[in-house]
Chains A and B, each alone.
Chain A
Amino acid sequence: MVKLRAKCLLVGDAAVGKSALSHMFHSDGTLFQKNYSMTTGVDLMMKCVQIPETSDSVELYIVDSAGKQTLVEACEKMWGEVSLLCLVFDLSSEQSFANCSHWMERVRAHCRGTRLPGVLVGNKTDLSTRREVQASVAQEWAESQGLEYHETSAKEKENCDAPILALATAFHSLYQEHRETIQNLSPG
């Protein structure tokens, strides 16, 4: 049995639903914040996820970072060393999806070459009539970036546990991989 710990960075444009998702993760899908309150700094949330078919678990420290452009630089100073990425966009906003590549660049530069497993989340599936981003397009871009794609609705409490489980599982696999590498090392 092992308990892993990972810092998961939650980024994406302002008002795509990062904090709403973060609250859903934290409350196991019971708490949806009805009033919008913009995150202006960095919020921290802890969630322990059991890895299926093992006795292992991952403690996710979710860093919910402000999406507003003018606040990003100040927030980046508080990111620290990141283990996982959760990049969120709004399915009803083409612009928020287009901006994902800027977010990706910023996060990559911040991590200086360390491999970063992660997920791309298209949020607000409930706004189906206003959808501007097709699943296949988002899926394809996610794959090109090495991210796993999920669609959620924090409002309707739909599929919100899928990205969090994917993140924990990815970190667990990364740990197993590193363990094997270390086992095969030769003495200094």
Chain B
Amino acid sequence: MIESSLASLGATIVVASSSDENHPPENITDGNTNTFWMSTGMFPQEFIIRFSEPTDISAVTVDSYNVKHLKIEKNTSQSASQFESVTEKEFQQTDGHLQSNAISLNGSGATHLRLIITSGYDHFASVHRVSVQNEHS
């Protein structure tokens, strides 16, 4: 099993519900926790990751700040629609450092992952990195 940054897997963000040109959603996939995508007010907030080919994902790790509750959905189609629910998790609040949460996805195959931040610990939340553990094929 290997852990990979999303960019190295050829994954891209195709939808993001907030946009600050200084903190674009590409900052989620670049593998660098110093860069981030930030929500710009109100919840829920979401983004959708597209993989270049169907990928078996055993877990995702999310580095974030002020995220309270996260839902993960996936699909196996070519378009970013018709998602099925996979799992959800309540994150612990952190002070002065990032939240880092590993979430098991039971090796399910997916072409898109949809991450929905349903609530936050403050007005704004940020996501610094999402990396996936995938079965080596």
Contact = CB atoms under 8 A, between A and B. Distances in A.
Interface of A: 1-7, 58-59, 61, 81, 83, 114-115, 171, 174-175, 178-179, 182, 185-188
Contacts of A1: 21
A182 B119 contact: no
A134 to B, nearest CB: 34
A171 B23 CA distance: 18
Given A114-B122, A186-B98, A5 B40 contact: yes
A185 B97 CA distance: 5
10 shortest interchain CB distances as A-B pairs: A188-B100, A188-B98, A5-B41, A2-B20, A178-B124, A4-B41, A186-B97, A4-B40, A5-B42, A187-B33
Contact of A175 (B21, B65, B124): B124
Main secondary structure of the interface of B (DSSP, over half): loop
Contacts of A5: 40-42
B123 A114 contact: yes
Contact of A182 (B42, B100, B126): B126
B94 to A, nearest CB: 7
Given A4-B41, A5-B41, A6-B123, 19 more contacts: A2-B22, A2-B40, A5-B40, A6-B42, A114-B122, A114-B123, A115-B123, A174-B123, A175-B123, A175-B124, A185-B96, A186-B97, A187-B33, A187-B63, A187-B97, A187-B100, A188-B94, A188-B98, A188-B100
Nearest to B98: A188
A6 B124 CA distance: 11
B123 A178 contact: yes
B41 A182 contact: no
16 contacts: A2-B19, A2-B40, A4-B41, A6-B41, A6-B42, A58-B41, A59-B41, A83-B42, A83-B123, A115-B123, A178-B122, A182-B65, A182-B124, A182-B126, A188-B63, A188-B98
The range of chain B's interface size is: 20 to 34
B49 to A, nearest CB: 20
B28 interface: no
Contacts of A188: 33, 63, 94, 97-100
Question: Which has the most chain A C-beta neighbours within 10 Å: B21, B36, B40, B99?
Answer: B40
